[in-house]
Chains A and B, each alone.
Chain A
Amino acid sequence: MLRAFFVVYGPRVGIMEALGQFLRTGFPQAVRGAAWHLALAAATIAAGVVVGIVLVESNEIWFSALVPDGLAGGRGPASTAADLRDKEIFAPWPGFIASFVVTANALFRHNATIGIMIFGLGIAGGVPTLLLLGYQGLVIGAFLALHYERGLLLDFIGWISIHGVTEIGSLVVCGAGGLVVAEKILFPGRYARLANLARHGTAAAALAGGAVLMLFVAGIIEGGLRQLVGNTPVRLAVGILTGAFWMAYFLSNRESRRHGPAT
């Protein structure tokens, strides 16, 4: 009897099929279902950005306090405008392999670990999720202020937007996943906390899993495309285009609502 149960109600799909279904309907649906959580996560990052800008604007020593050395990569209060422009924003393209393979990968692994962490910590009531999100915002704000001081604000925005739209977007999605988990624990409504979590946890994990895939895309753009495209207006345009693409994707496949769970 039990064995029959395992066969009938065990997972019926392989990993590729599950992935395809997830990309077609699961992920956009999960994103649409978590509008408020997305808004809160975005607001937290925005608040972090504002605080980061204000702090670093008032005193640049804050930059070294906020941004860990590994992330700063030699950039800091000591960098001059010329330094930043030539070595960072308009650095020469290091070649196909170094950019698309090496850099993209390191960025992806780093970001994906943070993203999964942001989601997983949702189980601790969402506070660490918000803290981590706010901290990511702080780092971005610190960089913004550093470049603003040196008159490179627009160039920097171009430099970051080409991949940042995807990357920050995916962090917001991860954060939303964590917040869904936290909300279902803290405000269970009619259900028992555990039952409520079990009802919605899968959707939350869909957010996190999808966000990791987004980060993969972001890593490729950041590692390769960013230095390949060498001027600010085009970078901004690419940033806006990726943003439009993600919006269209999340709003797509609306009516493919099926009856009953997909097995």
Chain B
Amino acid sequence: MAQRLDRINTFLEGASRNRREIISPEGIVLEVDVANHGERLIAFIIDFFFWMLATGLLYLMLALLMVERVSGAVATTIVLFIAFLLRNLYFIHFELASQGSTPGKRITHLRVIDRGGGPLLPGAIVARNLTREVEIFLPLGLFFSQPAVSSGAYFWYSAACLGWVLLIAALPFFNRDHLRAGDLIAGTMVISVPRRQLLAELVATETAYAFSRSQLDVYGAFELQVLEELLRRPLSLETSQVQQQVCRKICSKIGWAEPVPAEKTAEFLQAFYTAERAHLEREQLFGRFRADKSELPAARR
């Protein structure tokens, strides 16, 4: 299903810049969309927020314990240890537990997959998340400990360190698949899997047009789905132009003699969609599925 929808999308919108093909171990070609920088940043910020929230709660507990005067040093240590675990295991745990997506990734519909199409191994997840320390926490630390310009040579020394580390952190901007250093090491890739919502039926109950069987035999399931996608597009000048174009094409192809006025285009297409869909469904009931127009119709097979 998803593959057919992808085919319709590429037909209507042309090839997308972020489209990549991966091949699963069974030899099936899957098309995936590489997540773009904005999505990944948002996902990270959400995760960072959750993580900070959890850490903040921990410290709040610690502060309360301090106020209550329950053995300060031990409580501090335990809290610091849990905070350390939280920082290092948050991403690893969630990517293992929910098929390569942390809560932030889940909200933004991102997923981690193996770049070669193979299984995503736990080792790869650990690899891509251990590197996070160098990519995010090290630059942050260096940034906040950056000395003033007036400290002379030391300023330039730490500025050079910071610049170098920032270059590593900026790796996603320098390659085609938006891979960060951790992805490079682990052989993974972050893809975007937008959720498709189910829409209402398009089929009209009564139509003003009647089509003959030979007229409906011109097209197959793929063309029907393209038409459906076109009818579902939000109304705009561009959409109506495309619809008129498609309408003219259909008319010439099926030999529809009377001209369809511009304002009746959508109505005509809707009627044609209803009739074509009913026809194809009926044919399929008789075991005669037709994928697209290049396949011969059942009557002539």
1/0 contact trace for B4-44 toward A, CB 8 Å? 00000000000000000000110010101000000000000
A121 close to B (CB within 8 Å): yes
Given contacts A15-B89, A105-B81, A201-B127, A124 and B32 within 8 Å (CB-CB): no
The smallest beta-carbon distance between A186 and chain B, in angstroms, is 14
Write out the residue numbers on chain B whose beta carbons fall within 8 Å of the beta carbon of A97.
71, 73-74
Cβ B130 vs Cβ A201 within 8 A:
no
Does B134 sit within 8 A of A, measured CB to CB?
yes
Quote the shortest CB–CB distance from B148 to chain A (angstroms). Answer: 20
Which A105-145 residues sit within 8 Å CB-CB of chain B?
A: 105-106, 108-109, 112-113, 116-117, 119-121, 123-124
Partner of B84, one of A109, A121, A124, A181: A109
CB contacts (< 8 Å) of B89 on chain A: these are 15
Task: Establish whether residues A121 and B134, one from each chain, have CB atoms under 8 Å apart when the complex forms.
Answer: yes
Among candidates A2, A202, A261, residue contacting B186 with C-beta atoms closer than 8 Å: A202
Chain A residues, Cβ within 8 Å of B138: 117, 120
B187–A197 contact, CB under 8 A?
Answer: yes
Q: Mark B75-97, 1 if CB is under 8 A from A, else 0.
A: 01110110010001100110111
Contact of B96 among A11, A21, A202, A212 (CB under 8 A): A11
A1 to chain B, nearest CB (A): 5
Known contacts A15-B97, A106-B77, A181-B185; A261/B118 CB under 8 A: yes
Contact A13 B127 (CB under 8 A): no
Given known A-B contacts A2-B193, A9-B24, A10-B120, A197 and B184 have beta carbons under 8 A apart = yes
Determine chain B's interface SS by DSSP, over half rule.
helix
Beyond A1-B1, A22-B122, is A116–B73 a contact (Cβ under 8 Å)?
no
B65 sits at the interface (CB 8 A): no
- What residue in chain B is nearest A98 (Cβ atoms)? B73
Chain B residues numbered 44-66 whose CB sits less than 8 Å from any CB in chain A: none
A263, B119: Cβ atoms closer than 8 Å? yes
Partner of B185, one of A13, A14, A204: A204
Kindly list chain A residues whose C-beta atoms are within 8 Å of the C-beta of B30: 1-2, 5
Q: Flag if B99 contacts A7 (CB, 8 Å).
A: yes
Complex CA gap A120/B93 in Å reads: 20
**B92→A15 contact, CB < 8 A:** yes
Q: Which residues on B sit within 8 Å (CB–CB) of A32?
A: none
B124 & A202 in contact (Cβ 8 Å cutoff): yes
Q: Does A26 contact B (CB under 8 A)?
A: yes
Interface residue ranges of B84-136 to A (CB < 8 Å)? 84, 88-89, 92-93, 95-97, 99-100, 111, 113-128, 130-131, 133-135
A156-214 residues at the B interface, CB under 8 angstroms: 181, 194, 197-199, 201-206, 208-209, 212
Q: Is the CB of A10 within 8 A of B73?
A: no
Chain B hits for A21, CB < 8 A? 122
B3, A1: Cβ atoms closer than 8 Å: yes
The contact string, 1 if C-beta is below 8 Å from chain B, for chain A 76-114, is 000000000000000000000110011001101100110
> Chain A interface residue count: which class?
35 or more
* Contact flag A2-B32 (CB < 8 Å), given A9-B114, A10-B99: yes
Across the interface, B127 reaches (CB within 8 A) one of A12, A109, A194, A204, namely: A204
Cβ-defined partner of A9 (8 Å) among B96, B119, B123: B119
Name the contact of A11 in the complex, choosing from B3, B115, B120 (C-beta under 8 A). Answer: B120
Provide the residues of chain B in CB contact with A12, threshold 8 Å.
Answer: 119
Please give the distance in Å from B300's CB to the nearest CB on chain A: 31
User: Residues 1-30 of chain A: 1 if any B CB is under 8 Å from the residue's CB, otherwise 0?
Assistant: 111011111111111001001100010000
In the assembled complex, the Cα of A199 lies from the Cα of B131 at a distance in Å of: 16
B124 and A6 contacting across the interface, CB-CB below 8 Å: no
Closest to A199 in B: B187
Task: Answer whether residue A71 sits at the interface, using C-beta atoms and an 8 A cutoff.
Answer: no
Chain B residues within 8 Å of A198, by CB: 115-116, 184-187
Contacts of A204 in B (CB 8 A): 127, 185
**Bound: A26/B121 CA distance, A:** 12
A1 / chain B contacts, CB cutoff of 8 Å = 1-3, 28, 30
Choose one: B76, B118, B185; the contact of A123 (CB below 8 Å).
B185
Q: Which 3 A-B pairs have the closest CB atoms?
A: A198-B187, A120-B134, A205-B127
Interface residues of A (CB under 8 A from B): 1-3, 5-15, 18, 21-22, 26, 97-98, 101-102, 105-106, 108-109, 112-113, 116-117, 119-121, 123-124, 181, 194, 197-199, 201-206, 208-209, 212, 261-263
- List 12 additional contacts besides A7-B99, A117-B133, A121-B134; criterion CB under 8 Å: A6-B111, A11-B99, A15-B92, A21-B122, A112-B84, A120-B181, A123-B131, A197-B187, A198-B116, A205-B124, A209-B130, A212-B88
